[in-house]
Amino acid sequence: MTAMMAYTSFSRWSGALGLCAIIAIIRPAQADPRAVVELFTSQGCSSCPPADKIIGELAKDPDVIAMSMPIDYWDYLGWKDTLADARFSARQRAYSRARGDRDVYTPQAIVNGSAQVIGSDRAGIESAINATGKNGVMSVPVTMSLSGKQINVSVAASKVPLVTHGEVWICSISKAVPISIGRGENRGREITYHNVVRNLLKVGDWNGSPASWTVPLENVVREGVDGAVVYLQDGRSDRPGPMLGAAYTSLGSVYGSLH
């Protein structure tokens, strides 16, 4: 993929889990991060590896929740992305619709649901984090804990009068996934993808008041999943708005220890 292709909008996209039991344990999530960074990336994109590395670095920052969302619209170029999900392509395009532009490309980072940055621009990501931290963005405390066979999610009351609604979603996460790429522009390379989203599940709707939900682990955990992210976002899934709050928790070897 040429640099021009990597930064050109793409207008077409297309749109169980294993049951496990677990010893009862409580693991509270890191609360009140200042940013959620979503990277739309592809194994077939030669411009993406620097951005994938940055996400790995951001994943170590407790103040940032960084996630990789591999898209599928470059699969026709000769290498089918082994982590891609059409839902991520749809989410990226939904962000474009919400912004009112046609900027759909890889590597693209969406910061706090509000700003788009070239994913390999670390300074740009940091600047966007600072610029989006206002008007209720990331102002709602969200917590998550693991207990028995379920994940408990709690969302606090709004601190900002205009922030009174949103959707709560939970993401299944694989912290580090090394991939050996056999064809395409990254042929012969092994690239590690960090905090890869493996599944998206809507938990519920929030109306500005304190609320809590329980999510069965069977809906989140599968082989390779060792973390979870829950986020509260304004708007709808087909027109996402600013991130209002989020939390991350490690699931460790929950699946592997039971099989």
pLDDT (tens digit per residue) in 160-172: 988 999 999 999 9
Tokens 């928790």 map to which residue? 249
Report the alpha-carbon distance of residue 68 to residue 52 in Å, rounded. 8
Backbone CA torsion sign across 171, 27, 167, 160: negative
Structure confidence at residue 15 (pLDDT): 34
Across the range 33-47, mean pLDDT stands at: 97
For residue 218, give the nearest of 179, 259, 255, 256 by alpha carbon.
255
For residue 17, what pLDDT band results from cuts at 50, 70 and 90? very low
Read off the pLDDT of residues 83-99 as tens digits, 9 standing for 90 and up. 999 999 999 999 999 99
CB 84 within 8 Å of CB 69? no
CB 159 within 8 Å of CB 192? no
Report the alpha-carbon distance of residue 245 to residue 225 in Å, rounded. 22
Tokens 């207008």 map to which residue? 11
Burial 69-102 (b: 16+ CB within 10 A, else e): bbbbbbeebebebebbbebbbbbbbbbbebeeee
Read off the pLDDT of residues 111-150 as tens digits, 9 standing for 90 and up. 999 999 999 999 999 999 999 988 899 999 999 998 888 9
Report the alpha-carbon distance of residue 50 to residue 199 in Å, rounded. 24
Report, at the CATH architecture level, how domain 3-13+22-258 is classified: 3-Layer(aba) Sandwich (3.40)
What the block records as the tokens of 213 is 């939900």
Structure confidence at residue 254 (pLDDT): 60
Angle at 144 between CA 130 and CA 248, to 5 degrees: 45
